[in-house]
Amino acid sequence: MIRVTIWNEFRHEKQHQKVREIYPEGLHAPIADYLAKREMEVTTATLDEPEHGLTEEVLARTDVLIWWGHIAHHEVEDAIVERVKQRVLEGMGLIVLHSGHFSKIFKSLMGTSCDLKWREAGDKERLWVVNPGHPIVEGIGEYIELEREEMYGEYFDIPEPDELIMVSWFTGGEVFRSACTFTRGAGKIFYFRPGHETHPTYYNEQVLRIIANGVRWAKPTHVAKRNFGNAQPLEK
Amino acid sequence: MIRVTIWNEFRHEKQHQKVREIYPEGLHAPIADYLAKREMEVTTATLDEPEHGLTEEVLARTDVLIWWGHIAHHEVEDAIVERVKQRVLEGMGLIVLHSGHFSKIFKSLMGTSCDLKWREAGDKERLWVVNPGHPIVEGIGEYIELEREEMYGEYFDIPEPDELIMVSWFTGGEVFRSACTFTRGAGKIFYFRPGHETHPTYYNEQVLRIIANGVRWAKPTHVAKRNFGNAQPLEK
Amino acid sequence: MIRVTIWNEFRHEKQHQKVREIYPEGLHAPIADYLAKREMEVTTATLDEPEHGLTEEVLARTDVLIWWGHIAHHEVEDAIVERVKQRVLEGMGLIVLHSGHFSKIFKSLMGTSCDLKWREAGDKERLWVVNPGHPIVEGIGEYIELEREEMYGEYFDIPEPDELIMVSWFTGGEVFRSACTFTRGAGKIFYFRPGHETHPTYYNEQVLRIIANGVRWAKPTHVAKRNFGNAQPLEK
Amino acid sequence: MIRVTIWNEFRHEKQHQKVREIYPEGLHAPIADYLAKREMEVTTATLDEPEHGLTEEVLARTDVLIWWGHIAHHEVEDAIVERVKQRVLEGMGLIVLHSGHFSKIFKSLMGTSCDLKWREAGDKERLWVVNPGHPIVEGIGEYIELEREEMYGEYFDIPEPDELIMVSWFTGGEVFRSACTFTRGAGKIFYFRPGHETHPTYYNEQVLRIIANGVRWAKPTHVAKRNFGNAQPLEK
């Protein structure tokens, strides 16, 4: 059983009628439902809980953390961000969704601005697979289509990904590196673009499948302790 | 002075009126003109010359080889391909244009099929820069547009590029990794997508600029001899 | 059950008394024993069998192919090499061991000479993990040590690996990129250095563990058909 | 003329007699001398100057910044670190030397701990070239040797480098990825390991040559403005 914690800012759902209609229990709910049916042990955490729901205990028993945030990135406490970052370096997997590109945790792990172009105009998005053997696209065809999504466009200010898995085409003429992986310390990171709060993207079977594949890919291996500091010679 | 050899199959121009009208002296001609004005020493070579114009002497004095071929890849002799390949491994730069993706030399250096999707329907192509600090896009804006080009679509069966520099958007709904670099031995390789023979792409100032930048990037450094084989220990 | 085929040239064991004493049933035997105990379905194939034991049928039911060859690379028929290559591009995993660096199949997939330095002098080898979160080193400590091995030294003429996992230190003063991964088409490739025929390396528990981890990592995902060629537009 | 600013913490030289004997004018002095003779416009800056010598004006006219720090990383003000980081993302090159691996600027750009093993015992270091065509090793042989240096050993907690150029061998049995490149935004970053303050490493002709090559490689290209934020569609 992979132990997954889904973190959602959970503010749009409370503040905007349109979002609440799509995701009455929060956009983390359909993701949690899907994963829980696939031999994963799922818990959720949200911004307004004490310590944002990300206590030492919660993180210690999390194999993979999923992150969605948007309008309240600045409210996430730096100490919690640092706590999450240490767990990633030690091996916890991290999946960053959509507007999480601007979260403190993602920017801190990337070392760049993570900025991009965007447009809320209901563009069609087609995500093409450019790495067909990667386990994150297991069971996916050549591409997936989303009838309406927010547009994200290049230049996306991230480091060169370790692996580029999907590239998006948008009606308005833009492209985007939509599924990318990174390694930081012993931790695996997967950024996946779709998921604007005003579209029912997290009910899409293929989007959910990619998230589930991402969890399996990002789960920690049984990592050896990484030793640092002063070291005696191994040879005479 | 960088010494550039432009190799062109030079068959379409002889066989097809439409192509001849656009490129009366061959599609290598406008590329040669452009580079020759930018402190490069340019020669050209074509399929129907003895040894395809790629003798040992020609290659020995070539810093960067540019390659365009399409309908006669199979007529290129294996021994010449092997000769070019050895020079690349020793440090000669190689720029492969458009339909050169299916050339023997490119397939041999990549180790894959190099296959892709295509459509000759005059799609608009917009090439987005995804690596803005790379010298190959020096002086280029956020993207370049080509009003009409052949479409090439993913999946493009190449190894993960060392660097991905531009991604194309096409009217018909496809994307493509259009500017990619690879290293093989001491040689630098740059694949650049545009350049279908029925469109005047090689008169486009920005396309030419990227090719010129590519030549400067791919030129050999003063490479140390690479020593192989049985070796005495350096320590007691 | 992952279906593994271990291919061994199997000539040293017949020709050299010293090698036969270490590996009386061939050096593939201890690898096969180890993997068969770990929920893998293992078969073996050798050079002197018809079609080198690698018929269409055998390859069709192979998820991961392991390759060891040395003195008879040139005896492997080109048609069989091409057959193996097509299966790799379609998604079959490939693990290339030690002197397999000079095999036709590895050179063809890499596009380089795959040459290196070597010395048969019983150097001590210490392989350091440089990618501690990678599943291929799951359960391995900071390094593994081999008291006596053939030395392989840089420059190793391979393309920049997708992932570098281990780097070797040798008594004689050399280093080597000893555990590297590559992707070609939908296929995953793992090169792993140790395994000279005159040392009992394939009885080493940690070497075997890394090979088993490599098999699990390289097994094919359920890959979508990769479509190539002329394509109709997806948009009007 | 490439405009280079060499930043040195410049504390060891004032506090330790042994270091002062080797570098009476600071360890930045021999680097500055070498670069100034090679068509570079060199200035230096040190920790105890106002704003650490890194004012907006200084950075605005710096093409490539070289960084050496060790015992006073924590004294570098966060606001100055942020200023340097913005310039890197906009395209300024950055060369981080030796103990600069633990500087705030490097850790912030990498997103990891940048920790490693170390030993001050005068190990011999041999740096092997593993990317022989890279311009950073232009004019360098197969390896360079330093008779006595501080040891740095793996695991070095950095993201997978964009390019790995040299790997070190140490007498005591360790290896290290000693010359690595990274891209962040439009900026190129080169980490180069040698340079402990108690050894005369920055008088070594080959070490200096690699630093000079690094400056040429890292200099900014004429980068297009990177546009972010809300964007109108380019297509109807």
Task: Supply the pLDDT for residue B226.
Answer: 79
Interface contact C33, partner A, CB < 8 A: no
Q: Does A147 touch chain C (CB under 8 A)?
A: no
Interface test with B, best of D142, D189, D221 (most B CBs within 10 A): D221
Burial of A186 (0-12, 13-18, 19+ CB in 10 A): buried
Average pLDDT, chain B: 96
Residue of D124, D165, D167, D174 for testing the chain C interface, max C β-carbons within 10 Å: D167
Average predicted confidence (pLDDT) for chain D:
96
Instruction: Show the tokens assigned to B192.
Output: 């650049």
Mean pLDDT, residues B81-101 = 97
Whether the pLDDT of residue A223 is over 80: the answer is: no
pLDDT of residue D106: 98
Q: State whether A126 and B156 contact (CB < 8 Å).
A: no
At A38-83, the pLDDT tens digits run 999 999 999 999 999 999 999 999 999 999 999 999 999 999 999 9
- For residue B154, report the phi and psi dihedrals to the nearest 5 degrees: -70, 155
Task: List the single residue in A173, A184, A226 with the smallest CB-CB distance to D234.
Answer: A173
Q: Which of A124, A130, A137, A143 to mutate to test the interface with B (most CBs of B within 10 A)?
A: A130
Q: How far does CA A184 lie from the centroid of its chain?
A: 14
Torsion of CA C66, C71, C72, C78, to 10 degrees: 70
Chains touching A (at least 3 CB pairs under 8 A) are B, C, D
D147 and B CB contact within 8 Å: no
The answer to whether residue A188 neighbours chain C at the CB level (below 8 Å) is yes
pTM for this model (two decimals): 0.97
Mean pLDDT of A188-205: 97
What contacts D190, CB < 8 A, 6 or more positions away?
A: D93, D94, D95, D96, D136, D179, D180, D181, D214, D217, D218
For helices C28-36 and C205-218, angle between their N-to-C axes, nearest 10 degrees: 70
In this complex, the chains that touch D, judged by 3 or more CB pairs closer than 8 A, are A, B, C
Least CB-CB distance to A160: which of D162, D171, D173? D162
Which pLDDT belongs to residue B223? 73
CB pairs under 8 A between B and D: 71
Q: Which residues pair with C152 in a beta bridge?
A: C118
Residue B224 above 80 pLDDT?
A: no
How many angstroms separate the CA of residue A161 from the nearest CA in chain B? 10
Q: How far is A199 from chain C (nearest CA, A)?
A: 22
Tell me what pLDDT residue D225 has.
Answer: 74
Q: Looking at this predicted complex, what is its ipTM?
A: 0.96
C235/B89 CB distance under 8 A: no
Residue of D nearest to B224 (CA): D141
Beta strands at B163-170 and B117-129: parallel, antiparallel or unpaired: antiparallel
A214 touches chain C (CB under 8 A): no
Q: How far is A184 from chain D (nearest CA, A)?
A: 5
pLDDT exceeds cutoff 90 at A221: no
- Give me the pLDDT at residue B129, please: 97
Q: What is the pLDDT of residue D34?
A: 98
Query: In terms of CA atoms, which chain A residue is nearest residue C131?
Result: A186
Low-confidence residues of chain C, pLDDT below 70? none
Set of chain C residues whose Cβ sits within 8 Å of the Cβ of D177: 130, 167
Which strand (E) or helix (H) includes residue D65? strand D64-68
Distance CA D198, CA D201 (A): 9
- From the list D118, D229, D235, the residue facing A172 with the nearest CB is D235
- B166, B171, B223, B225: best mutation site toward chain D, by most D Cβ within 10 Å? B223
Residue A224 scores a pLDDT above 80 = no
pLDDT score, position B227: 87
Per CB-CB distance under 8 Å, the chain B contacts of A163 are 160
List chain B residues with CB under 8 Å of C116.
228
Sign of CA dihedral C44, C84, C165, D143: positive
At B236, is the pLDDT very low, low, confident or very high (cuts 50, 70, 90)? Answer: confident
Mean pLDDT (whole number) for D13-21: 95
Q: Kind and range of the H or E element at A3?
A: strand A2-8
D127 touches chain B (CB under 8 A): no
**Residue D226 reports pLDDT greater than 90:** no
Taking 90 as the threshold, does the pLDDT of residue A117 lie above it?
yes
- The pLDDT of residue D221 is above 90: no
Give the contacts of C225 (CB within 8 A, at least 6 positions apart).
Answer: A142
Nearest CA-CA distance, residue B40 and chain A, Å: 31
Chain B residue closest in CA terms to C105: B111
A116 in contact with D, Cβ within 8 Å: yes
Under the phi-then-psi rule, with left for phi > 0, alpha for psi from -120 to 50, and beta for the rest, what region is A80? alpha
D130 at interface of C, judged by CB pairs closer than 8 A: yes
Cα Rg, chain D, nearest whole Å:
18
* Chain C interface test: which of D134, D152, D175, D181 (most C C-beta within 10 Å): D175
CA-nearest residue to A156 within chain B is B130
C-alpha C146 chain-centroid distance = 18
User: What SS3 state is found at A13?
Assistant: helix
Q: What is the pLDDT of residues C86-145, one digit of tens each?
A: 999 999 999 999 999 999 999 999 999 999 999 999 999 999 999 999 999 999 999 999
Whether the per-residue pLDDT at D192 is higher than 80: the answer is: yes
Which tens digits make up the pLDDT trace of B120-144? 999 999 999 999 999 999 999 999 9
CB-CB under 8 Å, D222 with B133: no
D141 touches chain C (CB under 8 A): no
D 44-83: CB under 8 A from B: none
**B231 vs C89: CB contact, 8 Å cut-off?**
no
Tell me the average pLDDT across B25-44.
Answer: 97
Chain D residue with minimum CA distance to A123: D233
Specify the pLDDT at position B225. 74
Residue partners of B74: CB distance under 8 A and separation at least 6: none
Residue of A221, A227, A234 for testing the chain C interface, max C β-carbons within 10 Å: A221
Nearest to C155 among D130, D163, D177 (CB): D130
Question: Is the CB of D138 less than 8 angstroms away from the CB of B221?
Answer: yes
* Per-residue model confidence (pLDDT) at position C223: 73
Mean pLDDT across the stretch D4-33? 97
Q: What domains are there in chain A, each with its CATH number? A: 2-114+179-218 (3.40.50.880)
Does B160 contact A155 at a Cβ distance shorter than 8 Å?
no
Q: Note the pLDDT tens digit of each residue in B37-68.
A: 999 999 999 999 999 999 999 999 999 999 99
Condensed to tens digits (0 to 9), the pLDDT of residues A153-182 reads 999 999 999 999 999 999 999 999 999 999
Q: What is the distance between the alpha carbons of residues D178 and D151, in angstroms, rounded to a whole number?
A: 11
| Chain C residues with beta carbon closer than 8 angstroms to that of A126 | 234
Please give the structure tokens belonging to residue D30. Answer: 């021999």
Q: Binning pLDDT at 50, 70 and 90, where does residue B207 land?
A: very high
Segment A86-113 mean pLDDT: 98
Q: From chain A, pick out residues whose CB is under 8 angstroms from the CB of D89.
A: 112-113, 157
Q: Is D159 on the interface with B (CB under 8 A)?
A: no
Mark yes or no for CB contact B222/D162 under 8 Å: no
The pLDDT value recorded for residue C123 is 96
Return the pLDDT at A183: 97
pLDDT of residue C209: 98
Chain segment D83-136, per-residue pLDDT in tens: 999 999 999 999 999 999 999 999 999 999 999 999 999 999 999 999 999 999
pLDDT of residue D227: 87
Instruction: Tell me the C-alpha distance between D203 and B232, whole Å.
Output: 29
Closest to D209 measured CA to CA, from D170, D166, D172, D176: D166
Whether D226 and B132 have beta carbons less than 8 Å apart is answered as: yes
CB contact under 8 A, C115 and B235: no
Quote the pLDDT of residue B91: 96
**What whole-number distance in Å separates Cα of residue B88 and Cα of residue B56?**
13
How close, in Å, is residue C21 to chain A by CA atoms? Answer: 31
